[in-house]
Amino acid sequence: MVSGSTITKRLYQEVADTLIAAIGEGEYAVGDRLPAERKLAANLSVSRATIREAMIALEISGLVEIRTGSGIFVISEAAIAKSSGIHDIGPGPFELIEARTLFESEAAAIAATRISELELQELDRVCKEMTRLMEAGELAEDIDHQFHHLIALATRNSAIVSTINQMWEFRTRMPMWGKLHALISQRQGEPGWSLDRHTIVDHRRILNALRARDASAAREAMRLHLDHVKEALLKASEIDAIDLSVPQIVSSNGIGND
Ligand SMILES: [Zn+2]
């Protein structure tokens, strides 16, 4: 384990360091393609989301290059030679989504019992503004943040508000999030890319549950929304064209789309 202030490594760091060691031992040379994500996940007994985080971290460290549609390639021996493991660059984006699902679903359930009429009206305004922005093809990230922040505030619990705020702040400070966000932007115009549509429907469902003061419906609606966000992140950061080519062959008959 790493000495110093880090007590335990994040899971994606452990995976990244295992791969750095394999590259250092000559298992993969510069120019080599790393094994497919599915295979790495099985070999290292971690989820594909963790492999995805490790790869993004390795790319930020300059050790590999993610070529969407081709795979992940080792690009720097020099960097590997002087590297004694990747730096801690904050929680992984999929770790954050998992934590947000936990906190924000419960926050929505609590908010359903405490939210004011005025706050419901404000959420309605935010939903309408988000629809307008998305239909105009404009970025709706700030308005999305407002929506989630208003629900946190409606819990009337300052500890919940600050925990949720901190998770959102990680997004703006994290280089891994920036990288993932760039991948999402690249894919935004692709057919079948439905995060925006999901978001509008999901937010409305959450608002309706809050309006009905139905705690369990609000919890489920928020959970579903964040599941959609997670799916979109996984889809945006898909790398293994070869790995994914199997269902694609079937999909020429209209079967096999995810
Ligand atoms: Zn949202």
pLDDT of residue 151: 98
Strand positions, DSSP E, 45-94: 64-67, 71-74
Average pLDDT of the residues of the chain: 82
The answer to whether 101 touches 148, Cβ cutoff 8 Å, is no
What value does the mean pLDDT take over residues 101-110? 98
Surrounding ion ligand 1 within 5 Å at CB are 144
Gap from CA of 214 to ligand 1 centroid (Å): 19
- Token readout for 142 is 């700030």
CA distances to 31, 183, 194 from 190, rounded to whole Å, are 29, 12, 9
Question: Which tens digit of pLDDT belongs to each residue from 20-37?
Answer: 888 888 888 889 999 988
Rounded percentage of the chain residues whose pLDDT exceeds 70: 80
Say which residues have a Cβ less than 8 Å from residue 221's Cβ, sequence separation at least 6.
108, 202, 205, 206, 208, 209
What value does the mean pLDDT take over residues 8-15? 86
Backbone angles phi, psi at 9, to 5 degrees: -75, 150
Question: Which tens digit of pLDDT belongs to each residue from 128-170?
Answer: 999 998 888 777 888 999 999 999 999 999 999 999 999 988 8
- pLDDT at residue 83 above 80? no
pLDDT of residue 233: 82
pLDDT of residue 26: 83
Gap from CA of 133 to ligand 1 centroid (Å): 14
What value does the mean pLDDT take over residues 88-112? 92
Report the alpha-carbon distance of residue 229 to residue 173 in Å, rounded: 19
Cβ neighbours of 79 (radius 10 Å): 16
Say which residues have a Cβ less than 8 Å from residue 153's Cβ, sequence separation at least 6.
119, 161
What's the residue count for the chain? 258
Gap from CA of 140 to ligand 1 centroid (Å): 10
Report the alpha-carbon distance of residue 207 to residue 201 in Å, rounded: 10
pLDDT of residue 66: 83
pTM given for the model: 0.75
Q: What residue has token string 């489920």? A: 220
Ramachandran area for residue 26 (φ above 0: left; ψ -120 to 50: alpha; else beta): left
Gap from CA of 84 to ligand 1 centroid (Å): 38
Q: How confident is the model at residue 67 (pLDDT cuts 50, 70, 90)?
A: confident
